[in-house]
Amino acid sequence: MNRVIIIGGGLGGLSAAVTLANAGYDVQLYEKNSHFGGKLKKITLGDATFDYGPNTITMPHVFNDVLANTGVNPSDYFTFMKLRTHTNNVFPDGTEFLFTSNRNDMVTQLERLDPKGAMHYDRYLKEIEKLYTLSEKHFLPRTFTGIKDYLSPTLSWALMNVRPFESLDHFHRRFFENEKIIQALNRYATYIGSSPYSCPATFGMIAYLELVQSVFFAKGGNTTIAEALQNAPLNSVLLFM
């Protein structure tokens, strides 16, 4: 049996360990901290527990698939709960704008704060859905390891259709005019450590995840995700701290 050594027991390392072990590899994973999950850590204060690290989740199917591909039922290990509302943007003048996956609630807020945005919100949703759909099909599952991976007519077509030459800020100004609303939506550039003035509009796909698919949390705390991957029933995974 071929042996694989993984350094780091964050969610990526744990997912890789489970996936490789299921493929028949002898896996050894090494983690320097006293817990697995990386930044995902449980903090206890009295009778209360808090997630230190990612406290909301998008694309929960990714975590489900890691376990489902091994033949187990993910719901036996963790349960994802959908948040109807998830981010309240509060500005210095007291204005509030609450992000929600409920389309009607978003439009109601925009009618008060940004009439142009309310008028074009459905068009905005269609556009960010297109960005996500193209990314999910052509970019997210692809590994780019050499020049040949880039030489694909369908990949080039998809690339030209995800607005790579338009900034995220410019993209949002197509649909909205209230500077507070634009600022709130521009925060998605920070998810990749970038600026909305230089980040390509492609990353408007993140808005689709939060405003259409919604945001989730794992029942019992998001640390249950790391615990599930750590306890996956695969005998060929050895975990070391």
Same domain membership, residue 149 and residue 34: no
Same domain membership, residue 124 and residue 109: yes
| Closest to 51 (Cα-Cα) out of 36, 66, 63, 40 | 40
Buried residues in 107-141 as b, exposed as e (16+ CB within 10 A): eebbeebbeebbebbeebbebbbbbbebbeebeee
Whether the CB-CB separation of 22 and 234 falls below 8 Å is answered with yes
Burial degree of 59 (CB within 10 A; 0-12, 13-18, 19+): middle
Parent domain of 175: 85-213
- Both tokens assigned to 111: 């009618």
Most confident of 154-158, 187-191, 233-237: 187-191
pLDDT at 35 over 80: yes
Confidence of residue 1 (pLDDT cuts 50, 70, 90): low
Q: Is 44 helix (H, G, I), strand (E, B) or coil?
A: strand
Same domain membership, residue 203 and residue 117: yes
The CATH number covering residue 11 comes to 3.50.50.60
Same domain membership, residue 200 and residue 123: yes
Same domain membership, residue 36 and residue 151: no
% of residues, the chain, pLDDT over 90: 70
Dihedral sign, CA of 136, 138, 141, 143?
negative
Same domain membership, residue 188 and residue 169: yes
User: Count of domains in the chain?
Assistant: 2
pLDDT digits 0-9 by tens, 171-219: 999 999 999 999 999 999 999 999 999 999 999 999 999 999 999 999 9
Confidence of residue 105 (pLDDT cuts 50, 70, 90): very high
pLDDT digits 0-9 by tens, 37-68: 998 888 889 988 888 888 789 999 999 999 99
Whether the CB-CB separation of 19 and 69 falls below 8 Å is answered with yes
Same domain membership, residue 157 and residue 72: no
Same domain membership, residue 224 and residue 119: no
d(CA 107, CA 74): 35
